[in-house]
Each structure stands twice: as C-alpha cells, then as structure tokens.
Amino acid sequence: MKFFLVKKNKLSKARVGLLQTDHGEINTPFFMPVATKGYVKSVNVKELYNMSDIILGNAFHLYFNPGLKILYKSGGIHSFMNWKKSILTDSGGYQIFSMKKFNKITDEGVIFKSIIDGSIHFFSPEKSMKIQRFIGGDIIMSFDDCPDFPCDFNTAKISMKRTLLWMNKCFFF
C-alpha cells in the first residue's frame, strides 16, 4: 500500500491524496460505505461501484456471520461480495467492548460471550490480525481497547496503554 500527497491547501492544511492498494486506487478524502457483514444494506453492487472505491467490513461480525468457512469457500471477502475494489477491515474491538458486561479484558485480549449463541470466544490482537488477513482486507486495523464514554482520566490512561501494547502485537504479528 502506498499513499501519495496530491495537493495541500496552505491556509487550511486540507489535503488531497491518492491511496494505492492491491485492489486499486482511492482518492482521498473518500466516502466509505459500511459492509459490516459482507454487504451494504439497501445498495446493490452496481450502485456501490459508482459510489465508492473502498468499503468497510468488520472482522467481528464477519467471523460470526457469514463465518470464516463460508468466506474461505468463497475465496475471501472480495469474491464473497463480488467487490473488486479495496476493503478496509475493522478489528472488531468496538463490537466486543460494546458488550462489556459479557466480557473479561486482560492485556492478552478479551474473553467474551457471543450475543448470537452464547458461546465463549477469545479475541487477542494476534487473532484479530489473523482473521482480518484471512478475510482479505486491503487495509486492516489494529485491535483496540474502547473505554466507556465518559470515563475518568485513569481509565483512559489504562485503555491507551493497553491499546498501544496491542498495536505493537498487531504490528509485529
């Protein structure tokens, strides 16, 4: 992946750029529709191609539905969606942390209970990276700790330290 700065406004410092991925070029800034589970609601693929050069998929949701087996049999997220352009995959951290009352957070990762079937799962930074690479995202996001809002300074500090620890694990995975 490469980024090229095309133009910068001297007064506002706004930038226009070009991001190159394995699945094409993306002019920045850009609009990125959300395809959480491998589809964008209420938009057909033809309309989607006219709308954007990149979409967002979520590792957490894709892991459960349609599931890694189906994505594998389909040849990855691009084939599953019939999408030849770029895909950014989110780590799933926010979805896991939005269910705080059902999970246990450690520096190694998060143990949580599935809201789908009640089964117990463990996501670590390494597992999030493995899932996102398996899915086939062009841009993958590091696993992050998402504290409640609002939160006190100490909670934010602990969360930031954990996020940085996890980011290093993601980077070197």
Structure tokens at 127: 């597992």
pLDDT for 142-154, tens place per residue? 999 988 889 999 9
Go through 95-108 and write b for each residue having 16 or more CB atoms within 10 A of its CB, e for each that does not. bbbeeeeebebeee
Q: Percent of the chain scored above 70 by pLDDT?
A: 100
pLDDT in tens, 2-15: 999 999 999 999 99
Report whether CATH 3.40.50.261 matches the domain 31-171.
no
> Which one-letter amino acid corresponds to residue 6?
V
Distances (CA, A) of 165 to 92, 158, 169: 17, 11, 7
173 touches 125 (CB < 8 A) = yes
What pTM was estimated for this model as a whole? 0.88
